[in-house]
Amino acid sequence: MITGLTGNAGHGSRINLVRKRPSSIDVARLAEVSQATVSYVLSNRTDKVISEVTRSKVLAAAEKLSYMPNRLADGILRGKTLTVGVLMPDFGHSFNSKILIGLESEFADAGYSILIAHNRNEPELERHQVRMLMEHRVAGIIAVGDEATIAELPAWVEQAIKLDVDVCVVDDSSLDGIVDTVVSDDIAGANLAVGHLISQGHERIAFLGGSELTTTSRDRRIGYEQALQRHGIDVDPALQLGHHYRTDVDPDLSPLIVGPHRATAVFGVSDGLVGQAMMRLESEGIYRRDILAFVGYGNLEFSRYLWLTTIEQHPIEMGRRAASRMIARLSGKVSDPVTDRVPPELVVRRSSFPAKEF
């Protein structure tokens, strides 16, 4: 089982069977200084004055041994590490992956590492994962919003705060005011989308909605209604379709084309839903992208292949903001919990052509 049996040159009385990595003691011995001096030099402390000779002796010794400090020791001393935990529902969704990109880049630049925890939408697993993060002594936890585990949040967040672990929630505003929160402004986004359709001359605009378990779909419906009302257009309940916020549902839009409730445009709460609906129309032979205008939400990768006008939420930026807020807190800046609503942006493509009557 033991492969490299090199009893490392006598500094311990017992023979070590596993290769031990050089410690700061080894560096100290080689440089002929004390362990404390090594620590002073290697952490470039400005408050300690070190002579140039010792400094270079230490540096040379560290180099020779290819010494790498053990972050665990540091963490044990300080009670916490330079590590943050990221609790993810599902990085299969590019929206979440992009949040992660933003988080990572900010944290990496600030010297923090990221421990990931994937809850797979299972509340049970989430509790496990949070515990794991705590045992790792992470300095903070970033929680990415998710329908399934949203109910678990309050319980562990309270505990985390009690244990001096900072928390920031991204893409969910249910803990708004209690912890730092970064969300996309869904009401504004829906206003952009529907306002755009109205400016194109559309008045019969259908709404393709989803589950309102999270605030996402609800807020987008609110924005939809706001935009209509702002332009003096009545909200017609017959034009509100869809019940689930899942891409595996097949919303049937044919009534909008042939039925008594004709529409000239559709605003959907997610690109997935809209894409699905377009596919269905196309599949049924009533491929009429030229008579029904579409605006989706989320600017997913596939949307440009459908020439789909949509709303960009800037998830990378959301991640960045969440990270930098946490970094601020971790570096001692205290403030009341802040909620940051990232403004979305309209991305115009061919699917939102002007109404024919125009």
Partner DNA sequence: ATGAAAGCGCTAACAA
Partner DNA sequence: TTGTTAGCGCTTTCAT
Contact residues for DNA (CB under 7 A)? Answer: 12-13, 20-21, 23-25, 32-40, 42-43, 48-51, 53-55, 69-70, 73-74, 76-77, 79
**Got the DSSP string for 161-210?**
HHTT-EEEEES--TTBTTBEEEEE-HHHHHHHHHHHHHHTT--SEEEE--
301-331 burial code (b ≥16 CB/10 A, e <16)? eebeebebbbbbbbbbbbbbbbbbbbbbbbe
Residues 4-13: contacts with CB within 8 Å, 24+ apart?
A: none
Min CB(33)–DNA separation in Å: 3
| Alpha-carbon span 266 to 292, nearest angstrom | 7
Calculate the alpha carbon distances from 310 to 4, 78, 108 in Å.
58, 47, 31
Maximum CA extent, the chain: 92
The footprint of its own copies on residues 186-245 (CB under 8 A) is none
The footprint of its own copies on residues 133-152 (CB under 8 A) is 134-137
| Alpha-carbon span 48 to 51, nearest angstrom | 10
Min CB(296)–DNA separation in Å: 50
Strand-pairing partners, residue 340, are 182
Contact track, its own copies, 289-328, x by CB under 8 A: -----------xxx-xxx----------------------
From candidates 1, 9, 49, 53, binder to its own copies by CB under 8 A: 1
302 binds, among its own copies, DNA, none (CB under 5 to 8 A by kind): its own copies
Identity of the residue, 37 or 129, whose beta carbon is nearer to DNA in the bound complex: 37
List contacts with its own copies (CB under 8 A). 1, 3-4, 18-21, 66, 68-73, 75-76, 79, 81, 83, 91-92, 94, 97-98, 100-101, 104-105, 108, 113-118, 120, 125, 129, 131-132, 134-137, 159, 163-164, 275, 278-279, 300-302, 304-306, 332, 334
